[in-house]
Amino acid sequence: MTAVREFNFGAGMPDPATFPAQALADAAARVLPHHAMDLSKYPDRMGLPALRQIAADRFERNHGMRVPIENIVLTNGSMQGLMLVAQALAIQRKPLIVEEFTYVGTLNVFRKHQADLVPVPLDDQGMRVDALEEELDRLSAIGRTPTCIYTIASHQNPSGTTLPLDRREKLVELATKHQTVIVEDDCYADVQFTKHAVPAMYKLAEPGRVLYLGSFSKILGPGVRLGYFMAPEPLLSEMLSWKIDGGTSNLSALIVAEYFKEHLWSHIDEANAAVKQKLDTLLAALEHEFAGMDITWTKPDGGLFTWISLPAGTDRARVQALAKERGIVYATGQAFDSLNRDVPYLRLAYGFIANDDIPEGVRLLAECVKLSLPVGAGRR
């Protein structure tokens, strides 16, 4: 049996070819001999100060706000930050607002904690704050306050959308009015193809209104397992009190901090150039394969995903079965649906797959979709 060639549009990861393996090995060789004490004992509860400093520098350069490192805690990926959110905010059986389609890892955590998920629709500019206002009013009328509003405001996973400034201001205003916390998951910060980041809500809101989650996974690689959260007191201590894990690896943090001390922005530029090229290839291939059809896709200006909308009656199970036969991996719309509905979408990730594989992968995927369309549908 010959192995099927794989086209992996499933992995939400940066380009492996830009992973700086040698530079990290050099950084390790430079830094480790001087840090016997950091490695022979348990890490600082808040994580290695040098890497928290880099997180602070990163935020300052993007948003012009200096966050003291006393308000930054390293985590084992931002995923751990999400788990701490669920624990610190005691989300069990209480309403929790999410974008109607959101990161599957977040859904897993929130569902495991039995949160009562309240979806707010998305459009091409992210969360619809008019619909959010209605939801908050509705909840308030029945005496329920959400434990938080969780949002991936920049380069949303899965939709690739970014919430503009006016909507961020409105979201902050609504959270303040309803006395709830915004959890701003900024995992895709700096996977950004235009020059300026839209201001983070952490900067726009009064201190304590926003809990910010950051990550090094999407600008470097998820294998380093390094993320962080930012929050002032008392939120910070509440989060920290749940971080019962012996600390975040100093080995990983030392090496990454040493490398990023000099190379943070040059690495980001290089990684983004590679990912942007793949996005351009993907968008051209989609245009070529689906032109004139009743199929749309988002055109992100950052992040790692485009979100494809299929005609409602498309046989999604058939698309998937056919795709599997052809070695195509992608994420189904259902994986991201906060209510676990089988919605007519699919998500393509473009960071991991080789640029040269994209046109053929999209051609094969289009074949699967066209074979699964409802009778008489599909052409505009």
Ligand X SMILES: Cc1ncc(COP(=O)(O)O)c(C=O)c1O
Residues 166-205 vs ligand X: string with x where CB under 6 A? -------------------x-x------------------
* Bridge-based pairing state of the strands 227-230 and 305-309: unpaired
Query: Taking the complex as a whole, how short is the minimal distance between the CB of residue 77 and ligand X, in angstroms?
Result: 3
Residue 49 near residue 368, CB atoms below 8 Å: no
Residues 57-96 vs ligand X: string with x where CB under 6 A? --------------------xxx-----------------
Using CB under 6 A as the binding rule, whether residue 351 contacts ligand X is answered as: no
Query: Taking the complex as a whole, how short is the minimal distance between the CB of residue 144 and ligand X, in angstroms?
Result: 25
Q: Which of 16, 49, 105, 344 binds ligand X (CB under 6 A)?
A: 105
Nearer to ligand X, 71 or 102 (CB): 102
Q: Closest-CB residue for ligand X?
A: 77
Residue 74 near residue 246, CB atoms below 8 Å: no
CA distance 298 to 308: 7
Query: Taking the complex as a whole, how short is the minimal distance between the CB of residue 378 and ligand X, in angstroms?
Result: 30
Using CB under 6 A as the binding rule, whether residue 103 contacts ligand X is answered as: yes
Nearer to ligand X, 248 or 372 (CB): 248
CA distance 72 to 52: 6
Using CB under 6 A as the binding rule, whether residue 335 contacts ligand X is answered as: no
Using CB under 6 A as the binding rule, whether residue 158 contacts ligand X is answered as: no
* Bridge-based pairing state of the strands 305-309 and 296-297: antiparallel
The size of the interface with ligand X (CB under 6 A), counted in residues, is 14
Residue 137 near residue 95, CB atoms below 8 Å: no
Tokens 């701490």, located at residue: 84
CA distance 277 to 184: 28
CA-to-CA dists, residue 297 to 31, 48, 272, 317, angstroms: 45, 41, 21, 20
Nearer to ligand X, 107 or 343 (CB): 107
Residue 356 near residue 364, CB atoms below 8 Å: no
Nearer to ligand X, 210 or 368 (CB): 210
Q: Which of 87, 157, 161, 192 binds ligand X (CB under 6 A)?
A: 157
Query: Taking the complex as a whole, how short is the minimal distance between the CB of residue 102 and ligand X, in angstroms?
Result: 8
Query: Taking the complex as a whole, how short is the minimal distance between the CB of residue 353 and ligand X, in angstroms?
Result: 16
Nearest C-alpha neighbor of 309 from the set 286, 326, 280: 286
Give per-residue burial for 291-318: e unless 16+ CB within 10 Å, then b: eebebebbebebbbbbbbbbbeebebee
Q: Which of 85, 127, 139, 152 binds ligand X (CB under 6 A)?
A: 152
Using CB under 6 A as the binding rule, whether residue 217 contacts ligand X is answered as: yes
What is the chain's length? 380
Interface residue list for ligand X (CB under 6 A): 12, 77-79, 103, 105, 152, 157, 185, 187, 215, 217, 222, 227
